[in-house]
Amino acid sequence: MTRDPLKLALPLAVFVMAIAGWEIYVRAADVPPYILPAPSLIAATMKADWPLLSASLLVTLKTTLAALVLAVFGGVTLAAALSLSRIVEYSLYPFAVVLQVTPVIAIAPLLLIYMPQDVAVLACAWLVAFFPILSNTMLGLQSVDRNLLELFRLYGAPAHEGWSARLGSRLKAFWYLRRPAALPAFLAGLRIAGGLSLIGAVVAEMAAGSAGAGSGLAYRIIESQYRLNIPRLFAALVLLALMGVILFLALSALTRILLRHWHESALPREA
């Protein structure tokens, strides 16, 4: 697989030019740093405030990753239960939808009343990340070739052998057929959930707004805004953006590794 060098060089050139233009503009027009700090000042602030910012980065990163892991666990478990049993699907799915369509920022204050703050932040991030995994995994589990399912009926347990044999063959069909068939859709959901868990963490931190130890990057942004410390606000923002980009790249790489043998989306594009 040969990579087009332009794919990396072009965006890099645009980025460097934009930063240079920004720096030149701020210096030429003498813009005060509390309105728009120059990139060089943001970099210097990042370095000076690193102990504070890195601690906050760690807090937000932990929340985001924990929310993502819990969302995968909950989303996949529920999707599996829903796909194995009609009864479970009919009774639970509507509530999952209600949770999803209610804006999480509106739930956050409530969660903060009922839970300790760090748990509430985690719960918010989890709520946002959970649904794309659930719905995508369900879609994947259901989009199995019908003929392949017929093969399972043909070679699997006969219908007259009682419910335990039928359940066994249903579980086999799930493990051999639905699970691998659902993988591409699940991974698509995971990539969306990765970004959303970060958004959820940020939104919840902003709603919680606590000071002192254990406050994340989003809180640093609010705090810096109140204190007109705009360079630090930008520095925190840069770290959040970087975290989002790295998370996305990591999940994309995971997708490529898992699907490289068979799925169209993971194949190198024809020139």
Residues in contact with another protein by CB under 8 A are: 145, 147-148, 150-156, 158, 160, 169, 172, 176-177, 180-181, 183, 261-264, 267
What long-range pairs does 103-111 form, CB within 8 A, spacing at least 24? 104/128, 104/200, 104/203, 104/204, 105/203, 105/207, 108/203, 108/204, 108/207, 108/208, 109/207, 111/204
Judged by beta carbon, residue 52 or residue 149, the one nearer another protein is 149
Judged by beta carbon, residue 151 or residue 242, the one nearer another protein is 151
203 alpha-carbon distance from chain centroid: 14
- The amino acid occupying position 183 is L
Considering only CA atoms, which of 52, 79, 36 is closest in space to residue 60? 52
Quote the least distance from Cβ 42 to another protein, whole Å: 46
Quote the least distance from Cβ 71 to another protein, whole Å: 24
Quote the least distance from Cβ 137 to another protein, whole Å: 16
Considering only CA atoms, which of 19, 21, 159, 133 is closest in space to residue 76? 133
Backbone angles phi, psi at 43, to 5 degrees: -65, -40
Q: CA angle, 189 as apex, 188 and 195 as ends, to 5°? A: 100
Quote the least distance from Cβ 259 to another protein, whole Å: 8
Which burial class, exposed, middle or buried, applies to 110 when counting CB atoms under 10 A from its CB (0-12, 13-18, 19+)?
Answer: exposed
Quote the least distance from Cβ 86 to another protein, whole Å: 18
Judged by beta carbon, residue 90 or residue 176, the one nearer another protein is 176
Judged by beta carbon, residue 24 or residue 148, the one nearer another protein is 148
Judged by beta carbon, residue 4 or residue 264, the one nearer another protein is 264
Quote the least distance from Cβ 181 to another protein, whole Å: 8
CA–CA distance, 152 with 177 (Å, rounded to integer):
9
Judged by beta carbon, residue 27 or residue 153, the one nearer another protein is 153
